[in-house]
Chain A
Amino acid sequence: QLQLQESGPGLVKPSETLSLACSVSGDSISSSSYYWGWIRQPPGRGLEWIANLYYGGTSYYNPSLKSRVTLSVNTSKNQFSLKLSSVTAADTAVYYCASGLRITPWALGDWGQGTLVTVSS
């Protein structure tokens, strides 16, 4: 079982870029056993999938967000990151990072605690 922890600013101004990192412990971010994901949840609402990242492989994106999303991996820090550009108030949400096993794709078994990001001037 992995432990994941999100970090980043809790307040972002409209039109700016939201940047979050997810620190992973319990295995290497470059492990071939896992893939990595981002999900968000606006206050009082449901879950919205953002993207999945396979280290050394393909990334998959929510088409409604794809043009604004950038994913990256930092192996030296054992982290993966999310950047969401040109944010608006509609991007205010709790952002979760998560992991899944490659042998059971499309199911996220371990989650971070989530971090609230508010978009406001």
Chain B
Amino acid sequence: QSALTQPASVSGSPGQSITISCTGTSSDVGGYDYVSWYQQHPGKAPKLMIYEVAHRPSGVSNRFSGSKSGKTASLTISGLQAEDEADYFCSSYTSSATVVFGGGTRLTVL
């Protein structure tokens, strides 16, 4: 299974909005609404931010939102804050009953 495709890096200034894309195939992102997004700060474990494309777990800020169009899922962070600076990974269920992650995107808050 091939990793989902994410941009290596994105950046934005405090208060701005950014969007991170996650592109797969019809066998994963395009075929199922089981896309998740994880935030990982350096040296820490990943934290679930979005599940099933657009749902936020309890306690996650509503500045984080998810969406999907065709084979591409997106994570949008609005009102960017310094604490949002981290690595972000998408994941998807696949037609082989497995999970595939994206390569990760480093978000820099300028």
Q: Which residues of A contact B (CB under 8 A)?
A: 39, 46-49, 52, 60-64, 96, 104-109, 111-114
Q: Which residues of B contact A (CB under 8 A)?
A: 1, 3, 34, 36, 38, 44-48, 51-52, 55, 57, 89, 91-93, 96-104
Q: Which residue of B lies closest to A96 (CB)?
A: B45
CB distance B45 to A114 under 8 Å? Answer: yes
CB distance A112 to B93 under 8 Å? Answer: no
Distance A107 CA – B46 CA, assembled complex (angstroms): 12
Asked whether A104 and B52 contact (CB < 8 A) given A46-B103, A47-B38, A109-B57, the answer is yes
Q: Is the interface of A mostly helix, strand, loop or mixed?
A: loop
CB distance A107 to B48 under 8 Å? Answer: yes
Instruction: For residue A3, give the distance in angstroms from its CB to the closest CB of chain B.
Output: 12
